[in-house]
């Protein structure tokens, strides 16, 4: 198990490095003393600065009301060592158990929000609600990332990418085309 | 080069298999006889049925106006054999060249839209504009997928996942947790 990564702050406009590749994430939340975790695959980067993330959180999730009422959450990036927790959290309702305790995950504070981050994850992004105009229609939330930190190593974590039907693709080899200038649209 | 894949139709509510893992995609469009292709990394699945995809298309892209005016596009899924085309298309303005010809890509018809699909891609999703309410504010488009097809093999294509700064992660090994029931939220 990957526990207690030593983490460093990530500039807020650089979080695309972690989320644009499309990993499954764990979303932690807290409202009036109740905390929960959900597994989420439907999310995207929307802007560099302010650092915006869009995501769909089905209203059938126990986390939906905690997140909607608290107007905040933490998006945590699990890696392959947490596969069983990702699957378990994705298939069991949070109303019936303490998911931190059940899956051996450690809540820890992160700047900017009351919701707890998950220590065992590779990266953590504290999010405050930026735009809820499409929540009623599509369960679509737009978040501003207000704090971000990630493990220093490994540089390229073995993230999980969900394809449906219980099957995950694991992040594979890395190739660079830096010399060809695939930098045009990125801020420094 | 992977050319002329034999493709089969994909049920519209099953396209998450291809897009939820977060690959970089090529978006093809056409308006009044002008066609173009752009590289896109900011997208997500939003609903099974109707089959909805959300994406951000920066207004600085030459494709933006073609897509906004035609209210349609095709989202194409490239694999590692098309890396140089993905990078080239992502770094050169479409106003200055015919990207199909320049990168040796073949436009082909797909049901439901006038925009051409890209034959050399593993999968193709024809999209009609479903909701433009956040286009002005975030360049955020919500599409309904009206036709979908994908190559029969390989079952798990080597898709490209962009991390910024010219670096791509390539889809790696596949692991299954099907027996643990990670199916709860999926339609049949």
For A23, name the nearest residue in chain B, comparing CA atoms only. B21
* Paired sense of beta strands A117-118 and B167-176, if any: unpaired
ipTM of the complex: 0.93
Tally of CB atoms within 10 A around A120: 22
Please judge whether A46 and B56 are an interchain contact, meaning their C-beta atoms are less than 8 angstroms apart: yes
Task: Please provide the average confidence, as pLDDT, over all residues in chain B.
Answer: 92
pLDDT of residue B150: 98
Q: CA torsion, points A115, A118, A123, A128, in degrees to nearest 10? A: -10
pLDDT tens sequence across B120-171: 999 999 999 999 999 999 999 999 999 999 999 999 999 999 999 999 999 9
Contact A115, A64 (CB under 8 A): no
Handedness of CA B7, B9, B12, B17 (dihedral sign): negative
Report chain B residues whose CB lies below 8 A from the CB of A60.
185
Q: Is the pLDDT of residue B96 over 90?
A: no
Burial of A44 (0-12, 13-18, 19+ CB in 10 A): buried
pLDDT of residue A188: 47
Tally of CB atoms within 10 A around B36: 26
pLDDT of residue A178: 82
Please judge whether A184 and B140 are an interchain contact, meaning their C-beta atoms are less than 8 angstroms apart: no
What is the rounded average pLDDT of the residues B84-93? 91
Q: Is the pLDDT of residue B184 over 80?
A: no
Tally of CB atoms within 10 A around A13: 16
B6 φ/ψ angles, rounded to the nearest 5 degrees: -80, 120
Contact A154, A123 (CB under 8 A): no
Task: Give me the residues of chain A with pLDDT under 70, please.
Answer: 1-5, 94, 179-188
pLDDT of residue A184: 44
For residue B64, the surrounding DSSP H or E stretch is: helix B62-70
Please judge whether B20 and A162 are an interchain contact, meaning their C-beta atoms are less than 8 angstroms apart: yes
For residue A173, the surrounding DSSP H or E stretch is: strand A167-176
Nearest to B24, CA basis, from B11, B49, B42, B46 = B42
Please judge whether B170 and A168 are an interchain contact, meaning their C-beta atoms are less than 8 angstroms apart: no
pLDDT tens sequence across B103-114: 999 999 999 999
Tally of CB atoms within 10 A around A101: 10
Please judge whether B167 and A175 are an interchain contact, meaning their C-beta atoms are less than 8 angstroms apart: yes
For B23, name the nearest residue in chain A, comparing CA atoms only. A21
Give the mutation candidate from B13, B18, B20 for the A interface (greatest A CB count, under 10 A): B20
Of B46, B87, B169, the CB nearest to A21: B169
pLDDT of residue B53: 98
Report chain B residues whose CB lies below 8 A from the CB of A175.
80, 83, 167-168, 170
Residues in contact with B67: Cβ distance below 8 Å, sequence separation at least 6, in sequence order: B27, B29, B31, B57, B73, B141
Report chain B residues whose CB lies below 8 A from the CB of A165.
17, 178, 182-183, 186
Domains of chain A: 7-180 (2.30.110.10)
Of A18, A170, A180, the CB nearest to B91: A180
Please judge whether A161 and B21 are an interchain contact, meaning their C-beta atoms are less than 8 angstroms apart: yes
Helix (H, G, I), strand (E, B) or coil at A94: helix
For A49, name the nearest residue in chain B, comparing CA atoms only. B138
Of B43, B134, B162, the CB nearest to A21: B162
Report chain B residues whose CB lies below 8 A from the CB of A176.
166-168
Residues in contact with B164: Cβ distance below 8 Å, sequence separation at least 6, in sequence order: A14, A16, A17, A20, A186
pLDDT of residue A114: 97
pLDDT of residue B178: 82
Size of interface A-B (CB pairs under 8 A): 204
Q: Is the pLDDT of residue B57 over 70?
A: yes
pLDDT of residue B188: 47
Chain A: closest CA distance from residue B61 (Å): 10
Give the mutation candidate from A16, A20, A88 for the B interface (greatest B CB count, under 10 A): A20
Report chain A residues whose CB lies below 8 A from the CB of B47.
56, 138
Please judge whether A52 and B138 are an interchain contact, meaning their C-beta atoms are less than 8 angstroms apart: yes
Please judge whether A182 and B166 are an interchain contact, meaning their C-beta atoms are less than 8 angstroms apart: yes
Q: b/e map of B104-132 (b: 16 or more CB within 10 Å)?
A: ebebeebebbebbbbbbbbbbbbbbbbbe
Please judge whether A17 and B165 are an interchain contact, meaning their C-beta atoms are less than 8 angstroms apart: yes
Helices within chain A (DSSP H only): 16-19, 62-70, 83-91, 99-102, 135-138
Chain B: closest CA distance from residue A104 (Å): 18
For A188, name the nearest residue in chain B, comparing CA atoms only. B165
């Amino acid at each position: 198990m990957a526990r207690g990564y030593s983490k460093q702050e990530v500039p807020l406009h650089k979080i695309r490095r972690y989320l644009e590749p499309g990993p499954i994430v764990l979303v932690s939340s807290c409202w009036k003393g109740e905390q929960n975790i959900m597994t989420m695959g439907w999310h995207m980067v929307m802007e560099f600065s302010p650092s915006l993330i869009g995501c769909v959180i089905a209203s059938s999730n126990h986390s939906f009301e905690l997140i909607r009422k608290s107007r905040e959450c933490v998006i945590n990036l699990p890696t392959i060592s947490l596969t069983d927790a990702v699957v378990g959290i994705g298939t069991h309702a949070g109303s019936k158990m303490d998911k931190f305790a059940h899956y051996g995950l450690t809540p820890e504070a992160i700047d900017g929000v009351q919701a707890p981050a998950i220590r065992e994850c590779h990266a953590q992004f504290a999010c405050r609600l930026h735009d809820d105009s499409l929540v009623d229609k599509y369960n679509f939330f737009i978040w501003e990332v207000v704090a971000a930190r990630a493990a220093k190593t490994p540089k390229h974590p073995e993230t999980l990418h969900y394809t449906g039907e219980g099957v995950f693709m694991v992040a594979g080899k890395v190739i660079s085309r830096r010399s060809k200038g695939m930098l045009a649209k990125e801020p420094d």
